[in-house]
Amino acid sequence: MPQTFTRLFFHVVFSTKHRAAMIKPEWEDDLYAYIGGIARNRKAELIIGGGMADHVHLLIRWPATVSIADMMRDIKTNSSLWRHESGDASFAWQNGYGAFSPGADDLRAVGNYIARQREHHATQSYQDEFRALLRENGLEPDEAHMWDWLPAANGAFVPEGPADV
């Protein structure tokens, strides 16, 4: 076949550093617009973005020529730089992310799920949501390596936040 045909979508999820409530309502829409611009520069399309003050969900139509790691590096690095240039020098994303490939029949449901994040998180934490996403996609959560860890006063490392392990 002399041509290549792809229709790739990814639902990506990642949080702010230590899941701190860093995403402010007054610039949240601008964040998703900026991320959409980053995606367009990579020949991708942000279908919908949504989340809470401590994490984001993105549904992106992905080109076959860009790896997940490269796209995520660009999105996280450039959106962090945008926040720093906006005067928010403390803004940072966590190191990792989740990337899941919904089937064609699931795209509308994923988009609706992202659009209803505020409603959804009235009853479920980000950590519990992420664990469930992993399990729904056939992955077993590895609690020891899944969250950012903070140094304790005694030098040991402890999970950040009360909802952790």
* Helical H segments across the chain, by residue range: 25-41, 68-85, 107-115, 117-120, 126-136, 143-146
Q: What is the pLDDT of residue 26?
A: 96
User: What per-residue confidence (pLDDT) applies to 165?
Assistant: 32
CATH code, 8-159: 3.30.70.1290
Give tens-digit pLDDT for 52-79. 999 999 999 999 999 999 999 999 999 9
- CA separation, residue 160 to residues 31, 89, 122, 132, 165 (Å): 25, 21, 21, 19, 9
Comparing 40-44, 88-92, 122-126, the range with the smallest average pLDDT is 122-126
Percent of the chain at pLDDT > 90 equals 58
Over residues 74-123, the pLDDT tens digits come to 999 999 999 999 999 999 999 889 999 998 899 998 998 899 888 878 88
Distance between alpha carbon 32 and the CA centroid of its chain, in Å?
A: 11
Q: Which of 152 and 145 is assigned the larger pLDDT?
A: 145
Q: How many CA atoms lie within 13 A of 114 on its CB side?
A: 23
Q: What is the pTM of this model?
A: 0.81
- Among candidate residues 56, 75, 43, 46, the one with its CA nearest the CA of residue 13: 56
- Return the residue matching tokens 């056939």: 138
Question: Tokens 């076949």 — which residue?
Answer: 1
For 74, list phi and psi in degrees, rounded to 5: -65, -45
Structure tokens at 161: 């936040």
Q: Which band of pLDDT confidence, cut at 50, 70 and 90, is reported for residue 164?
A: very low
What phi and psi values does residue 45 have, to the nearest 5 degrees? -135, 120
